[in-house]
């Protein structure tokens, strides 16, 4: 993860949320200090330790404890413990929770898909269907969940899709155009939607073919015609409920937009130890592991 970019993103997130000042937290004595604990409220996979660490540094908070990324968590588990000025803890709370809940939700969904597939020979990958501005964080969360990343940006690889094929006059024409423009280190992928297109793609020898919206039975037949040196990706309509149907097929990659575009955030909450919920003063010494 690019730490420089991460810090800039977190700075913008804080500016967006705090505005010209936290009117609610400014009611609290500026000298007051607290310990804040983030607790899981459901089962899942934790993700976001680099975010917690950088926010603590930026906000001058002490990071007492944090779960490791990839840890399986259950309701009631302590995810994060921070100590510092009460005002600062509260003004940081929403940004912290929003980001780690989103990332942990993605990591959890990814782990569920990997486990449901149950085939280590097939990589489960994300797509570019990410939240604008959050791609680096969301793709990091996919890796934490046991998945892999597809291209991060349009300049990572040539990916010839249906509209490119139409615009360039065919599969062969599109691949030849790509080879004339890009260097030898840039992979070329072709999306095919029919068996005829697959035959055309094989003839021009791309690095990757994506078989789009094919049933498992269709895939078992189609992959018999694809040389071993061409990477086989499948995509389109595959979900957590159906991914197990692709186990054992000779494919290399399954890409799922579901990992990022519609995932549900993992529920957790932050509480001040020593606040009213604990019926003691905030400055009461707390045994935090």
| pLDDT tens per residue, range 129-188 | 999 999 999 999 999 999 999 999 999 999 999 999 999 999 999 999 999 999 999 999
**Could you say which of 41, 128, 161, 179 is catalytic?**
161
Fold (CATH) for 119-261:
TIM Barrel (3.20.20)
User: What does CATH list as the number for 3-112+265-278?
Assistant: 3.90.1170.20
Kindly report the length of the chain: 289
DSSP H helical segments within 145-229, as ranges? 162-168, 171-181, 195-204, 216-222
**Could you say which of 69, 93, 126, 191 is catalytic?**
191
Give ranges for CATH 3.90.1170.20 in the chain. 3-112+265-278
Q: Is 91 a catalytic residue?
A: no
Give 43-96 pLDDT, tens digit per residue: 999 999 999 999 999 999 999 999 999 999 999 999 999 999 999 999 999 999
Tell me the pTM: 0.91
> From CA 90, how far away is CA 259, in angstroms rounded?
30
**Could you say which of 129, 135, 151, 220 is catalytic?**
129
Give ranges for CATH 3.20.20.70 in the chain. 119-261
**Could you say which of 93, 212, 214, 282 is catalytic?**
212
β 231-235/208-212 pair status: parallel
Q: Is 193 a catalytic residue?
A: no
Q: Is 94 a catalytic residue?
A: yes
**Cβ-based neighbour number of residue 272 at 10 Å:** 17
Give 240-267 pLDDT, tens digit per residue: 999 999 999 999 999 999 999 999 999 9
**Could you say which of 7, 53, 94, 250 is catalytic?**
94
Q: Is 83 a catalytic residue?
A: no
Q: Is 191 a catalytic residue?
A: yes
């Amino acid at each position: 993860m690019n730490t420089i970019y991460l810090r800039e993103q977190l700075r913008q997130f804080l500016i967006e949320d705090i505005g010209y000042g936290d009117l609610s937290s400014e009611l609290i004595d500026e000298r007051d200090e607290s310990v804040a604990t983030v607790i899981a409220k459901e089962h899942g996979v934790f993700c976001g330790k680099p975010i917690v660490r950088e926010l603590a540094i930026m906000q001058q908070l002490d990071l007492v404890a944090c779960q490791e990324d990839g840890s399986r968590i259950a309701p009631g588990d302590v995810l994060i413990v921070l100590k510092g000025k009460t005002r600062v803890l509260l003004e940081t709370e929403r940004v912290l929770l929003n980001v780690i809940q989103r990332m942990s939700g993605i990591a959890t969904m990814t782990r569920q898909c990997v486990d449901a597939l149950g085939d280590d020979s097939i990589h489960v990958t994300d797509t570019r269907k990410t939240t604008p501005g959050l791609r680096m964080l969301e793709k990091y969360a996919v890796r934490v969940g046991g998945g892999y990343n597809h291209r991060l940006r349009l300049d990572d690889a040539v990916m010839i899709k249906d509209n490119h094929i139409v615009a360039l006059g065919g599969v062969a024409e599109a691949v030849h155009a790509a080879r004339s423009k890009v260097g030898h280190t840039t992979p070329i992928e072709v999306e095919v939607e029919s068996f005829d297109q697959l035959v055309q793609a094989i003839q021009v020898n791309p690095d990757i073919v994506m078989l789009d919206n094919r049933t498992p039975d269709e895939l078992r037949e189609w992959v018999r015609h694809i040389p071993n040196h061409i990477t086989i990706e499948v995509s389109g309509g595959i979900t957590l409920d159906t991914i197990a149907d692709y186990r054992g097929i000779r494919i290399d990659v399954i890409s799922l937009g579901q990992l990022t575009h519609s995932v549900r955030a993992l529920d957790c909450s932050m509480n001040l130890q020593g606040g009213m919920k604990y019926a003691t003063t905030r400055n009461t010494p707390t045994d935090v592991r």
